[in-house]
A and B are shown apart, each in its own frame.
Chain A
Amino acid sequence: MLDAMRSDHARKQRAHGIARAGVREERSAPAQGRWSPTSRSLSGPDRQKADNVLAARQLNRAAGTLAASVLADSAVEHYRGSFKNKAMLTPIVVAGLTLAMSLHGTADKRPVAHNARDTSYLLAAGTGLLGTGFHIYNVTKKVGGFSWQNLFYGAPLGAPMAILLSGLLGFCSERLRANGPRRRPRVLSLPAGKTVATVAALGLLGTSGEAGLLHFRGAFHNPLMAIPVTLPPIGAGLLGATVAGSGECAHRATRWWMRLLVAMGFAGVGLHAYGISRNMGGWRNWSQNILDGPPLPAPPSFAGLALAGLAALELMREASDG
C-alpha cells in the first residue's frame, strides 16, 4: 500500500513536472517570441518561422497534457478491467509514446516536422479511432446493449477520443513546423489557427459530454459537478466565435476563458481527490476507491484542450496581424 502511495505520489509529481515545464515555457516564451525586443529585431521571415515553431511547441504541450491524462486514465481503467483483452494495453503504450514525443516536441525548436513524432501522432489518432470502435463493441455486446446501464458502467465511449485529439493536435503541430516562414500557417491547406481552434472546440464539447454523462451517473450530487458541463461548452462557443471572425475583445475574452479551463482541469484533480476521500474508507481504502471513486486523471484533459485553444488563438492572431 505504501508502495502504491509512493508511486501515486510520484505520478502526481510527474504531473506537476509537466505543468511546471509548461509554465516555464510560458515565461521563457517572450524571450524568443514576438513580443521580445530580440524577436522584433528578427527579420520578417525568421520571425514568422520562430512564431510558427513556438505555436507548434505549444501544441506539442497541449497534446502531451492530453496524452498524460489518457495514459493515467486508461492505465487505471484498464487495470480495473483486469486487462482481460491484451489490446487494453494499447492505449497505455501509445499514450506513453505520445507523451514522450510531445515532451520531445515541446523542447524541440527546429522548424521542421519530425518523422518519429509524426508517426507517433498518427498512431495515436488511429488508436483513438480503433479504441472508440472497441468501446462501442464492448457496450453493445453487453446484455442490454446500448442502454444507460452500459453507457454508465461499460467501456466509456468518449474516452478513446482523447487520444485521438492528442494525436490530431500533435499532427497539427508537425504541419505547423513544416510551414517554414509562411505568413499564414496552414495545416493540410487549411488555415492553421482556425483548424486547431475547431479541433479544440469540438474536443471541449466532446469531453464535456463525457463528463456530463458520468456526473449524471453521480446524480450531480455536488453542485461543483456542474462546472465541467458548463464552462467548457462556453469556451467552445468562444473559440467558435473567434474562428467565425470576431474582434480583439472577443479574442481576449477567449484567451482568459482558456486559461480558466486550464485551471479548471487541474483543480478537477483536487476535487476528484476529495470525492475519493468521501467514499467508504477514504484513502485508506485506495485499492477500491481509486477505481470506484471519481477518476483522478480525467479532468486534465480539459487543460490539454484549453492549451490547444490558447495556441490556436496565437496562430489566428498572427494570421490576422500579418
Chain B
Amino acid sequence: MSDDPRHSPRARNGRAPDVFRPGRWVSMQQYADNEAVDFVIVGTGAGGGTLACKLAEYGFSVVALDAGPYFRPLEDFASDESEQTKLYWTDDRIVDGDNPLQLGSNNSGKAVGGSTVHFAMVSLRFRPEWFKARTKLGYGADWPIDWREMWAYYTEVEQALKISGPINYPWGPPRPRYPYRAHPLNAAARALARGCEAMGIAWTETPLATLSAPRGLAHPCVYRGFCVAGCSTNAKQSALVTWIPRALSAGAEIRDLAMVGRIETDENGLAVGVHYHRQDKWHFQKARNVVVAGYAIETPRLLLNSATDKFPDGLANSSGLVGKNLMAQANQAVWGVMEEEVRSYKGPPSLAITEHWNYADEGKDFFGGYCYMSQGPLPQLWAKTQASAHGLWGARLVEEMKRYNHAVGLKIVGEMLPQEKNRVTLDDEVDQYGIRIPRVTYSWCDNDKRLIDHSIGFMSRALTAAGAKDIWIQHDDTCHLNGTARMGSRPDNSVVNADCRSWDIPNLWVCDGSVFPTVGGANPSLTIQAIACRTADRIRSLARLGEIRF
C-alpha cells in the first residue's frame, strides 16, 4: 500500500491521520454508504470543515467528503514552491471573458482543509455596512443577515483559530481582544507602515490565523515565509488542524480522495445522498441532508451537474442564479525596490495592513472598498510576476531577479461588484472522473476598473513615500472567488436563504463563499467560517423546532 496521500486514501479503517504527530493516527467513527447520515458535506474547507465540526459537536451524524488528500503537514510538506502546488485544485477548467481569471493556485485548494491549508491566513471582519450594501451604500445586494449577529460569530471563529491580532483595531466598531498577540513586523510590513504614516492614514498589524505562541501540540510561527505553500510548522490555523480534529473527536467521518460527481434527488424533489468517486469506484452515500461546500466554482458545477428531469437547469436553480454573480477580488499590486535589504521572504507575507479605503467613503469615485497589505513572494512566484506581469525575460529578468532581496510591494484585496454575466457554466469537455468541467467567464465592470485605478494611484504614492524606487504596476491579478449561489431574502433573487438553505430543496444546503451576495474589500475566510458557525446554530434550532426532517 502506498503511503502517498495523493494516491490512496488515509482516512479509513476507523482511523484518520493525526495532523500533529508524524506517522500517527487518531480514531475515527465511520458510516456505511447505505446508512443515511444526518448530513453529508461536500468539501472540508473554511465552509465545510467548520460546519462538519459544529454539526458533529451538536450531535448530528456527519460524513464530510473531500476530493483532495489528507496531509500531515509536519511530514508531508516540503519547503518548496513546486512541490507544494500539490495543494492546489488543478483539475481541468476553462477561463474566458474580457478578463479571464487565473485559477489553480491562490484561489483554489484540493486537500482536506481546502484552501485554508495554503491561505495567507488574513482574518478580517467585514465592515458592518457591507451587510446592507444596497440599502446603506447604494450598490450590490443586501445580505439577509444583520451585522451584529455576524459580529458574535466572528468572535467565535477568532477564538477557535486563536487569531493573532493587534491590541487596538483602528477601524469599525469595537471588537473583543484577539486571543493571541500580533506577530513582529518584517521589513516589508514596516515599509507599508512608513507609507501609511506619510500619507496620513492608519495601519495596523494584520490579524492572522497563525500562532504567535504555542497552542496544544501546534508550534508557534517560525517566520519561514512559506505560508502560501503550506505550513509545515502547524502554526497556521487551517481547517485541517483546527475544525477537522474537533470534528473527528465529535464523531464526524472525513473521507479523503472522495470526489462527489452528483447529488441524487428523489421523486419528491428531495436530496437523498451523493455519488462520489473513491479508490477507482463510484459509491453512493445516503443522507438526510446534503451540504455543498465546494467553493464558488465547484459548488455551482456540482449543482448544475446534478440536473434531473424534475430540475433540468440544475438543483436549487429556480431563480436561474446558480453559477451567476461570480465575484473575484481585485488583487493589483505596486512594486518597487528599496535601498535597504528587505528580504520579504521572511515571515507571513502580509504582516501589515491598512483598511482605510474600506471604511472611508469620501474621495472615492467608485462603490465598494479595498484594503492593501505588505507582500512576501517566494522566488518562483516573484519570477513569474516579473515575467508575466512586468514583461521581463532574458537577461533583464535574470538581472532583475538579483534585486529580489530589495523588492517591496503593496497589494490590494479589492471589492468587485456582482454581475450576472460573470459566471460558472458547464463545458462539454469532461475531467478525469468523466464529469463535465466548468467554464469560468469573467469581465471587470467600470466600477471595478475605477476602484483598481484609485488603489494603484494611492499605493504608488505610498510606496514612493516609503522610500521605494523603480515603481511598477501589476495590473492583472485577482484573488478569492465568491458568489454563484448567493443568499437572499426571496426565492426569486437568491439561491439560498440566510440559513444557507436552498429555497427549492429544503434538505439541500450551500455553505461556503458561494453564498456571498457581495464580497467587500476583505479576505473572505473569516466570514465564510462565521457563516458556517451561524448555519450550524440555525440547523440546531430548526431541528429542535422540527423544521428539518430526519
Are A149 and B185 touching (Cβ within 8 A)?
Answer: yes
Contact for B193 among A144, A219, A285, CB less than 8 A: A144
Contact for A153 among B168, B180, B184, CB less than 8 A: B184
Q: How far is the CA of A142 from the CA of B179 in the complex (A)?
A: 25
A12 to chain B, nearest CB (A): 23
Are B181 and A279 touching (Cβ within 8 A)?
Answer: no
Interface residue? B233 (CB, 8 A): yes
Interface residue? B277 (CB, 8 A): no
B127 to chain A, nearest CB (A): 23
Contact for A280 among B185, B193, B197, B222, CB less than 8 A: B222
Interface residue? A148 (CB, 8 A): yes
Chain B residue nearest in CB terms to A281:
B222
User: A249-275, CB under 8 A of B: which get 1 and which 0?
Assistant: 000000000000000000000000001
Are B166 and A221 touching (Cβ within 8 A)?
Answer: no
Interface residues of B in 167-206 (CB under 8 A from A): 167-168, 179-182, 184-185, 190, 193-194, 197, 205
**Residues of A bordering B, CB below 8 Å:** 142-144, 148-149, 152-153, 216-219, 221-222, 275, 278-281, 285, 288, 292
Instruction: From known contacts A143-B190, A288-B222, infer whether A148 and B213 are also in contact, taking CB-CB under 8 Å.
Output: no
Q: How far is the CA of A280 from the CA of B222 in the complex (A)?
A: 7
Interface residue? B219 (CB, 8 A): yes
Q: How far is the CA of A243 from the CA of B356 in the complex (A)?
A: 54
A292 proximity list for chain B (CB < 8 A)? 222
Q: Which secondary structure characterizes the binding site on chain B?
A: loop
Are A143 and B166 touching (Cβ within 8 A)?
Answer: no
B29 to chain A, nearest CB (A): 30
B197 proximity list for chain A (CB < 8 A)? 143
Are A279 and B194 touching (Cβ within 8 A)?
Answer: no
Interface residues of B in 214-237 (CB under 8 A from A): 214-215, 219-220, 222, 233, 235
Interface residue? B306 (CB, 8 A): no
Are B219 and A280 touching (Cβ within 8 A)?
Answer: yes
Identify 13 residue pairs between A and B in the complex whose beta-carbon atoms are under 8 Å apart, listed by A's number. A142-B190, A148-B181, A149-B182, A149-B185, A152-B182, A153-B184, A217-B213, A218-B213, A221-B214, A278-B219, A280-B220, A280-B222, A288-B222
Are A219 and B181 touching (Cβ within 8 A)?
Answer: yes
B167 proximity list for chain A (CB < 8 A)? 148
A218 proximity list for chain B (CB < 8 A)? 181, 212-213
Are A216 and B222 touching (Cβ within 8 A)?
Answer: no
Are A221 and B213 touching (Cβ within 8 A)?
Answer: yes
Contact for A219 among B185, B212, B233, CB less than 8 A: B212
Count class of interface residues, chain B:
20 to 34
Are B190 and A217 touching (Cβ within 8 A)?
Answer: no
Contact for B219 among A148, A217, A279, CB less than 8 A: A279
Are B214 and A149 touching (Cβ within 8 A)?
Answer: no
A281 proximity list for chain B (CB < 8 A)? 222
B190 proximity list for chain A (CB < 8 A)? 142-143
Q: Which of A142, A152, A285 has the most CB of B within 10 A?
A: A152
Known A-B contacts: A218-B212, A219-B213. Give 13 more (CB < 8 A).
Answer: A142-B190, A143-B197, A148-B167, A148-B182, A152-B184, A221-B214, A221-B215, A279-B214, A280-B220, A280-B222, A280-B233, A288-B222, A292-B222
Interface residues of B in 255-289 (CB under 8 A from A): none
B233 proximity list for chain A (CB < 8 A)? 280
Chain B residue nearest in CB terms to A218:
B213
Instruction: From known contacts A279-B219, A279-B222, infer whether A149 and B213 are also in contact, taking CB-CB under 8 Å.
Output: no
B512 to chain A, nearest CB (A): 30
A279 proximity list for chain B (CB < 8 A)? 214, 219-220, 222
Are A219 and B222 touching (Cβ within 8 A)?
Answer: no
Cβ-closest 7 pairs across A and B: A280-B219, A153-B184, A221-B213, A143-B193, A218-B213, A219-B180, A148-B167
Q: Which of B180, B181, B213, B220 has the most CB of A within 10 A?
A: B213
Are B166 and A148 touching (Cβ within 8 A)?
Answer: yes
Chain A residue nearest in CB terms to B205:
A149
A284 to chain B, nearest CB (A): 13
A278 proximity list for chain B (CB < 8 A)? 214, 219
A288 proximity list for chain B (CB < 8 A)? 222
A222 proximity list for chain B (CB < 8 A)? 214
B212 proximity list for chain A (CB < 8 A)? 217-219
User: B330-355, CB under 8 A of A: which get 1 and which 0?
Assistant: 00000000000000000000000000
Q: How far is the CA of A238 from the CA of B180 in the complex (A)?
A: 33
B294 to chain A, nearest CB (A): 32
B433 to chain A, nearest CB (A): 38
A61 to chain B, nearest CB (A): 35
B184 proximity list for chain A (CB < 8 A)? 149, 152-153
Instruction: From known contacts A280-B222, A288-B222, infer whether A217 and B193 are also in contact, taking CB-CB under 8 Å.
Output: no
Q: How far is the CA of A221 from the CA of B162 in the complex (A)?
A: 10
Q: How far is the CA of A194 from the CA of B218 in the complex (A)?
A: 48
Q: How far is the CA of A177 from the CA of B217 in the complex (A)?
A: 54
A148 proximity list for chain B (CB < 8 A)? 166-168, 181-182
Q: How far is the CA of A221 from the CA of B193 in the complex (A)?
A: 29
Q: How far is the CA of A308 from the CA of B408 in the complex (A)?
A: 51
B290 to chain A, nearest CB (A): 39
Chain B residue nearest in CB terms to A144:
B193
B193 proximity list for chain A (CB < 8 A)? 143-144
Chain B residue nearest in CB terms to A278:
B214
B539 to chain A, nearest CB (A): 32
A216 to chain B, nearest CB (A): 7
A149 proximity list for chain B (CB < 8 A)? 166, 182, 184-185, 205
